[in-house]
Amino acid sequence: QKEVEQNSGPLSVPEGAIASLNCTYSDRGSQSFFWYRQYSGKSPELIMFIYSNGDKEDGRFTAQLNKASQYVSLLIRDSQPSDSATYLCAVYTGKLIFGQGTTLQVKP
Amino acid sequence: SQTIHQWPATLVQPVGSPLSLECTVEGTSNPNLYWYRQAAGRGLQLLFYSVGIGQISSEVPQNLSASRPQDRQFILSSKKLLLSDSGFYLCAWSPLGTPNTEAFFGQGTRLTVV
């Protein structure tokens, strides 16, 4: 079992819709959870981090964490074509482990 | 402010040749340091991480090695490159002992082994 799992996609949504990205992790001792965005050929950049159960909102982005289910998600409201990128889930367990990423396509 | 430098940006090397990629961090002390590799269309695979000088943890058996000769310097090396070593190599740092903060990435090195 992979430590951090994501559906590779692509996930295609129309402009203005809500995009929902999901991630599961295997280590129950995981302490912190991160969502990164990566444009083609570029380095990942942080969107949000979350470490407590529940929701955390930042602008159009909402991260959700459920430690009992070992599940973390990212919602993007009012999706824009500029949101088209690969979204990487990362989990800190004493080291930072990434999932394989989900490719999001927002169609105008 | 903190910055991370990684070079070179692109590299084309023949099979069997050696490799040395360098990463340095400025503006912070005692960082956690990471080397990741990303194959085309894939996620980030953790290769090595370090919590201090001379302290290197290897995550994946391979023909690569890492060293941390100074607090803010992290080097990725190979004695003989394989075709499968091609990929996008990323160095990252995060503050030591603070897991709730992000990892900051260098610009990456795109390595093509021919």
Mean pLDDT by 10 residues, chain B (114 residues): 90 97 93 92 90 90 90 96 95 79 90 96
Rounded-to-integer distance, Cα B19 and Cα A24, Å? 35
A57 CB-near residues (< 8 Å, 6+ apart): none
CB B50 within 8 A of CB B28: no
Q: Say if the Cβ atoms of A96 and B107 lie within 8 Å.
A: no
Q: For the ranges A4-8, A11-15, A70-74, which has the lowest average pLDDT?
A: A4-8
Predicted local confidence at residue B23, as pLDDT = 96
Q: Say if the Cβ atoms of A98 and B99 lie within 8 Å.
A: no
- Least Cα separation, residue A27 to chain B (angstroms): 15
Mutate to test the interface with A, among B51, B91, B102 (most CBs of A within 10 A): B102
Predicted local confidence at residue A25, as pLDDT = 96
Q: Which residues of chain B approach chain A closer than 8 Å at the C-beta?
A: 34, 36, 42-46, 49, 57, 59, 90, 92, 94, 99-103, 105-108, 110
Rounded-to-integer distance, Cα B99 and Cα A29, Å? 12
CB A79 within 8 A of CB A13: yes
Q: Which chain B positions have a beta carbon within 8 Å of A51's beta carbon?
A: 99-100
Q: Say if the Cβ atoms of B46 and A45 lie within 8 Å.
A: no
pLDDT at A2 over 80: no
CB A5 within 8 A of CB A56: no
Predicted local confidence at residue B42, as pLDDT = 82
CB B102 within 8 A of CB A46: yes
Rounded-to-integer distance, Cα A33 and Cα A25, Å? 10
- Least Cα separation, residue A91 to chain B (angstroms): 10
Length of chain A: 108
CB B92 within 8 A of CB B33: yes
Greater confidence (B109 vs A2) lies with B109
Predicted local confidence at residue A38, as pLDDT = 96
CB B57 within 8 A of CB B48: yes
Q: Which residues of chain A approach chain B closer than 8 Å at the C-beta?
A: 6, 31-32, 34, 41-46, 49, 51, 88, 90, 92, 95-101
Rounded-to-integer distance, Cα B112 and Cα B114, Å? 6
**DSSP character at residue A18:** P
CB A11 within 8 A of CB A74: no
CB A75 within 8 A of CB A47: no
Strand segments (E) across B27-113: 32-38, 44-52, 55-58, 64-70, 73-78, 87-94, 104-105, 109-113
Greater confidence (A96 vs A1) lies with A96
Predicted local confidence at residue B41, as pLDDT = 78
Rounded-to-integer distance, Cα B25 and Cα B92, Å? 9
pLDDT at A44 over 90: yes
Q: Say if the Cβ atoms of B43 and A98 lie within 8 Å.
A: yes
Predicted local confidence at residue A98, as pLDDT = 94
B84 φ/ψ angles, rounded to the nearest 5 degrees: -70, -5
